[in-house]
Structures are given as C-alpha cells and as structure tokens.
Structure 1
C-alpha cells in the first residue's frame, strides 16, 4: 500500500490478526482534517488494528464550506459513524480525538459505549481569551486569520485552514462548555495527552480532564517538547508508543474482567 501523508480524505485501514476486531475511531480537530492522523493510522494498522479517520462536515475543503456548519453537524457525523461501526458488530471501539476531536470523543463516551477514549490536546482552557469576542464579532466579520499553533510544516501536513469562520468559533466554545460541564459522565477508560509547548490549549486542560472524568482507569501524559500538533511534532513516536501501550492495558483489563465474570457465581 502506497503511504500518503498529506490528504484531507477520510480513510479506513482494515486490520489483520487478533487485533483487527479493535477499531480506532479517529476524530480530527477544529479546521483540521484526517491528515493529522495518517502517521498514527499507519503505525496502529501495522500492529493489526482497524483504523478509521472521519472527515467532519465543513472540513478538508474551504472555510466557506465550514461556515455553514456547527458543532451539532460535527457531532452528528461522529455519532452516525459510531452507529455504523457498531451495527457491524465490531467487538471493540476506541475513540481517539485531537483537540476539538478530543472533545467529541469524550462526548461520544457519554452517549455510547466505548472501550476507551484517547484525548489528545483537548481544550478546556485556551491560551487566548479572544475567542470570547467571537460571540459579538461574528455579526460584523465572517472569518479571522488563525494564529499558528505549531511549525509551518506540521500545519501543512495536517491540512488545516489558515482562517476560521467566526460562527464556527462560537460553536466550538459551546461544545467546549458542554463537554467541560459533563466530564463526570465519562466512565470509559481514558488516556489524556498534552504537549507542554501548546500555543493554543493551556496544558492544565489535560489535568482538568483527568481530574474530572469518572473513569476508574485513566492515564495522564505530558510531552515537554510538543506543540498543539501532538500527532506530528518531534515527540510523535513516543506519543504513538504511549497510545499503543494504553490500548494494550485496555486489552489486558478487558481479559481480566471477562475472567472475573466467568468465575463469579
């Protein structure tokens, strides 16, 4: 298979072997694309996992397309994708979300059964408070240029928009508030990962998520050299290894729970 590292297209890599029945549902960030996940997708597929990366409505084309969408459109697409996977009786589904995609993954665990959630650079606290102004500015201007949150070559590989529709910024804030206020409803196993050089999301967001979910099994990982582009930056290999290690722990946890259930009277 020819490996493509820069493409806005959604993708599915079918797994092989014992781990093929575990499907990783990958959800990209605000103004981003599935291209953020291609390197991780290849890495996990090489280990036998089935990988599916969605393209959220309004993304991967132009900001002019995105301005006609809101968080309910993005959420609806994630929900529909999950239901389609579950209808095929895939045994295990783990949601992996980057940035806004992490918020959607956490919300998905509140509404559907997930075997795990991996939240990568998900926002609770932003480095800039200017997004608050979007509520008013959206009535006067349609778009705002985005401040770079990572090195230019990383943003290019992620295929992100260079400007963001202000109504969509408002929609993102609504989603953030909704998920933040409901984190105690997250009971699936959770891995929370955060770069310490993130120029968009304050690193304490990860600690907040970790501390407010109700998951009995949870992990928190920080990466000191990593920007918001946690899946593409220089510590990406360590991030991938940690994600794989977390999934292996979930498999061991699932096997232990099955054994305990079988032995119970």
Structure 2
C-alpha cells in the first residue's frame, strides 16, 4: 500500500497478527488534521495495531468551516468514533486513545466517559505559554480570525495541514475544554502515558506533570523530550516518541495480569 502524507483525510489501517485486536483511536490537535498523525499511524500499524485516525468537525477544510463548530462538536465526534470502534471490537480486544495537543484533551475527556484500555496524551495543554488566548473571550465580538505568524516550525505545520488563521470563537471553546478536563482529571483511571516536549512554544511543560499528578490511573508514565517542539510527532526527534508509545502499548498486555495480582493480594 502506498503511503500518503500531507492530506487532511481521516484514515483507518487494519492491523495484522495478535495486535490487530487492539484498536488505536488517533485524535489530532486544534486547527490541525489527521496528517499530523500519519507517521505515527504507519509506525504503529507496522507493529500490527489497527489504527483509526479521526477528522474533527470544522478541521481539514477551511477556517470558515471551523468557526461554525465548538467543543461539543469535537467531543461528540470522538465519542461517536469510539462507539463505532467498540461495536466492532473483538471480545479480547482493546481500545486505546492517542491524542496530540487538543486531541490529548479529547482523549482524556473520552476516558472520563467511556471505558478505555489506555490513554496517550501528548502535549495536551493545561497551561498555555501565551496569556493572549484569554483575550479571545472579548476579541470574538470584534474579529473572527487571527492570522498565523511565520515560525521556525512552519514546515511541521505544513505537514500537519494546519490552518493559516485561527477562528477566535474556537479559541474560546478550546479554553473551555481545557478548563473542563483540568477540573475532572480525577475521573481518568485508565492506564496513562503523558508525553511533553521541553521546547514546546505553545504548551508549558508543567502541563504534563499536572496531568500525571491529578489522574487516578494506577498505571501511569510520563516522558519529557528535551529537544522536541509542540510538533513532537513530526519533528526530528519523533522516533523516540514513537518508540516510547509502542513500549507503553506493549505494557498494556501485562496490565490485566497485574491488576488481577493486586486483587488477589488484597483478598
């Protein structure tokens, strides 16, 4: 099968072998698209996992489409995607949500509402590096969009097929989603992997530790990437991130045995 990059289309890759029954729900970030997850998706599919990358409403088309959507549209789409995956899940199969940036928030929110066998949250914002986003609450009544400034990470944003302007109204909903997830992290009990780039110019690295410390997950892991940017799934250090995620997924096969041992020791 020919591998495609730089496309906003959602994608599904059927797994092979024993790992095919583990379905991975990949969720992209704010103003981005499934394109930012394609390299990771191919990597994990090569290991045998079934991969399903969703396209959130208002994304992957135009900012004019996105401005008509909000957090309930994005969350609802993730829930429906999960339910569709669960309906075709094998009895012994697993479902793991993997989200980047806002997708990490949506993966955590999904873990609050549905049964997940694992959650991977990458560069999910609890604290943003810029306080300007707080102005969106007022700015939405005066301007519709903010143009994206040129940056050294432009090539990463191009591969992620990110919009060149951001709907201000959607920034308001992003902040609402952040607040909602932050306030309810204790409801997350699924095994959790948290990844964060130290060179992230959008999300403060302390976001990762906040998530790690406030969830209820008995099995949890946190990894920092000293040279990685916010686009840690696409930048030059991405292979290490992929490897850490694959090792976490492999650990999930042992979680059931581990939990059973805990129960037996308590009785």
TM-score range, shorter chain: over 0.9
Contact residue 116 and residue 188 of structure 1 kept, 8 A? yes
Shift of residue 146, structure 1, vs aligned partner: 2.8
Deviations 1:173-196 (A, max 9, x none): 000000000001100010000000
1:17 matched residue in structure 2: 17
Cα gap change, 1:260/1:21 in structure 2, threshold over 3 Å: closer, same or farther?
Answer: farther
Asked whether the equivalents of residues 21 and 89 of structure 2 are also in contact (C-alpha less than 8 Å), the reply is no
Distance in 1, matches of 2:105 and 2:59, equals 16
Helix, strand or coil for the counterpart of 1:245?
Answer: helix
- The within-5 A match list for 1:39-188 is 39-90=39-90, 91-147=93-149, 151-188=153-190
In the alignment, structure 2 segments of 5+ residues that lack a partner are none
For the 8 Å contact 1:149–1:227, the answer to whether it is kept is: no
Q: How many residues align?
A: 265
Q: CA deviation at 1:252?
A: 1.5
Q: Partner residue of 1:28?
A: 28
* 1:147-206 Cα distance to aligned partner (Å, 9 max, x none): 467611111100000111011000000000000000011000100000000010000000
Shift of 1:6: 1.1
* Aligned equivalents of 1:258, 1:147: Cα separation in 2: 52
List alignment gaps of at least 5 residues for structure 1.
none
Q: Could you tell me how far 1:113 is from its partner in structure 2?
A: 0.1
Deviation at 1:34, TM superposition (A): 0.1
Q: TM-score, normalised by structure 2?
A: 0.95
Whole-angstrom distance in 1 between the partners of 2:237 and 2:206: 19
SS at match of 2:78: helix
Q: 1:187 to 1:263 in 2, by over 3 A?
A: closer
User: Taking structure 1 as reference, are residues 253 and 148 closer, same or farther at Cα in structure 2, changes over 3 Å only?
Assistant: farther
Answer whether contact 1:149 1:199 (CA < 8 A) is retained: no
Looking at structure 1, the residues matched to 151 and 82 of structure 2 have their Cα atoms a distance apart, in angstroms, of 29
RMSD: 1.7
Residue 102 of structure 1, CA deviation: 0.3
Q: 2:172 and 2:46 mapped to 1: Cα distance?
A: 39
SS in 1 for 2:204: coil
Q: Following the alignment from structure 2 to structure 1, what is the Cα–Cα distance between the partners of residues 151 and 66?
A: 20
Structure-2 residue corresponding to 1:4: 4
**Is the contact made by 1:150 and 1:228 (CA closer than 8 Å) also made in structure 2?**
no
More off after superposition, 84-93 vs 142-151: 142-151
Change (3 A) 1:236 1:28: same
Rounded Cα–Cα distance in structure 2 between residues aligned with 1:205 and 1:21 = 32
* Stretches (4+) displaced over 6 A: 259-265
Following superposition, the deviation at residue 51 of structure 1 comes to: 0.3
Asked if 1 retains the 8 angstrom alpha-carbon contact of 2:16 and 2:49, the reply is yes
- Secondary structure of the equivalent of 1:193? strand
